[in-house]
Structure 1
Amino acid sequence: MRVAVCQLNSREDRAHNLVVARELLGRAAAAGATFAVLPEYVDFLGRSAEAPKPEPVDGEFAEFFATAARELGIWVHAGSFHETGPDADRTYNTSLIFAPDGERAATYRKIHLYDVEIAGRVSYQESRTVAPGENTVVAEVDGVPTGLSICYDLRFPELYRRLAIAGAKVLVVPAAFMLHTGRDHWEVLLRARAIENQCYVLAAGQIGDHDPDRTCFGRSMIIDPWGTVIAQAPDTVGVTVADLDLDRLEKIRTEVPSLANRRL
């Protein structure tokens, strides 16, 4: 199974962001990938006041990536977007997967929200504008059970263990990980999730500066179930491709049977 992680620098120009995303998906397909993953908030990353109107899961955003999947004949993970939420004040942060025929194969709403209050330093409450999802999701992508997550979810290992127990062999992490935490935590956390769950991890990140005053770490990567980084993006917009060896995954799970040996 050949996969691709697409690294973007999404800004406030939604139309431009979508053009770049489509071009990267085309490059992934040309490289032979059967599954391509885009980053969190692929269509818009900027000031909240200028954000596009939230959409349902069958809106224009979905149609754009359904068409891309159908035209390219590949599986497309459309990063995430602002889905219409449960009330007027909040959206969902939602990932969609489309099959090569353009049909929506999975929907996942980000469960964990970043709320922090440090006196005199930072005050940020994601839950004021985003509602949490409630369901874990494992989708069949080209016949491979694939567990879904988004960005801050990465810090909650219990989510990924639930996905592994549910049968996931691949874990997907679209993200807009910040530079100051990404430098120390991004790769460590991704490799940990791969090792402890004996899964491949596909992590597609935003890269570079975004308004207002934020910088994303990038370093999109693909990690094998042993925790080895088998492909990593340079610090630029682009596509990174690798082949997943599912026989190797089964070999690792047999020789180090930690999933089979768990007691909780």
Structure 2
Amino acid sequence: MKIAAIQMLSGPRLDDNLAAAGRLLAQAAAQGCELAVLPEYFCLLGRAETDKLAVREQPGAGPVQDFLADQARRHGLWLVGGTLPLAGADPGHVRNTCIAWSPAGEPVARYDKIHLFRFDNGRERFDEARTIEPGAAPVAFDLAARDGRRWRVGLSVCYDLRFPELYRRLDADLLLVPSAFTHGTGQAHWEPLLRARAIENLAYVAAPAQGGLHENGRRTWGHSLVVDPWGVVLAQREDEGEGLVVAALDGERLAQVRRQLPALEHRVL
């Protein structure tokens, strides 16, 4: 199964971001991809953290959800829509939500980011809890590939990557990590963490990311990539800016790795 991890450089204008995402999804479909995954905050990286409140949507209704459903149908893709802001219980907060869509344009899974990023190195300060309320439950779904193979796909978002217990709970063949890693933390930890999650779960990992200097002054690391179950980087974007990382997942390779090192069967905790 061929997949695309889509790297973007999203900004503060919703329509511009959707147009960029649409262009990249068309490229993924043209290359024969069955699954395409957008990065975290693909639809908006505002000038202020509170900007996301103005574009939040109710579950099941809104221009961003309509766009994702239409793109999945139009291109016949399984599509995981990075994240978008959905209304939560508190009017001053949103859920940072990842929704998976079938090629028929039907939503098949929803995951609300559980772990909220907080960082302060004296120069950069982030605290997602100011505008985001966390989810509580791990989420995975079954994807039927064109060759008849079923893939168990686990959903996660960005900062979740630092919490390996979440990935154990997902029990997946393919782990998705749409992200917007800061440049500093990404430079230090992005690839080692992604390869670790692949190795310890004997699973493929696909991580589409925001990458570059955004209009709001934030710089994200990019380097979107796909890793195989042995920890081998199959494909990676080496520069900033938008683009595709395309890789083929091999079900036999997954089975072979799990046979030769049956670590998942050896768990006792």
Normalised by the shorter chain, which TM-score bucket? over 0.9
Give 2:96's aligned residue.
Answer: 93
Tell me, what secondary structure is at the counterpart of 2:42?
A: coil
* Preserved contact between residue 46 and residue 210 of structure 1 (Cα < 8 Å): no
- CA–CA distance in 2 between the matches of 1:181 and 1:115? 12
Alignment RMSD, CA only?
Answer: 1.4
What TM-score, normalized by structure 1, do the two folds share?
0.95
State the 1:240 CA deviation. 1.5
Alignment pair present for 1:234 and 2:208: no
Aligned position for 1:244: 249
Greater strand fraction, Structure 1 or Structure 2: 1
Three-state SS of the structure 2 residue aligned to 1:174 is coil
Deviations 1:33-85 (A, max 9, x none): 00000000110002235434210221221111100000101101111011111
- CA 172–91 in structure 1, closer or farther in 2 if over 3 Å, else same: same
TM-score, normalization by structure 2: 0.93
Contact 2:180 2:220 in 1 (8 A): yes
Query: Counterpart of 2:114 in 1: which secondary structure?
Result: coil
Whether 1:201 aligns to 2:205 is: yes
2:192 aligned with 1:188: yes
Q: Distance in 2 between matches of 1:123 and 1:46?
A: 15
Q: 1 CA distance for matches of 2:23 and 2:76? A: 14
Amino acid at match of 1:93: N
Amino acid at match of 1:239: L
Q: Deviations over 1:62-111 (max 9, x none)?
A: 11110000010110111101111111111000001110000001100000
**Any idea what the Cα deviations from partners look like across 1:95-136, whole Å, max 9, x if unmatched?**
011100000011000000113466x66653211210000110
Could you say which residue in structure 2 is the equivalent of 1:155?
Answer: 162
Within-5 A mapping of 1:47-196: 47-48=47-48, 49-51=50-52, 52-58=54-60, 59-116=62-119, 123-142=125-144, 143-164=150-171, 168-196=172-200
2:262 aligned partner: 257
Contact 1:2 1:242 in 2 (8 A): yes
Residues 1:3 and 2:3 aligned together: yes
Give the AA of the match of 1:53.
Answer: V
Query: Runs of 5+ in structure 2 lacking a partner?
Result: 145-149
2: CA distance between counterparts of 1:141 and 1:13? 32
Return the letter of the residue paired with 1:133. Answer: G
| CA–CA distance in structure 2, aligned partners of residues 106 and 124 of structure 1 | 28
Residue 36 (structure 2) aligns with: 36
CA separation in 1, counterparts of 2:177 and 2:216? 23
SS of corresponding position for 1:147: strand
Q: Give ranges in structure 1 of 5+ residues lacking alignment.
A: none
| Aligned residues between the structures | 260
What CA distance in whole angstroms lies between the structure 2 residues aligned with 1:128 and 1:207? 24
Q: Give the 3-state SS of the residue equivalent to 1:159 in structure 2.
A: helix
Amino acid of the structure 2 residue aligned with 1:170: L
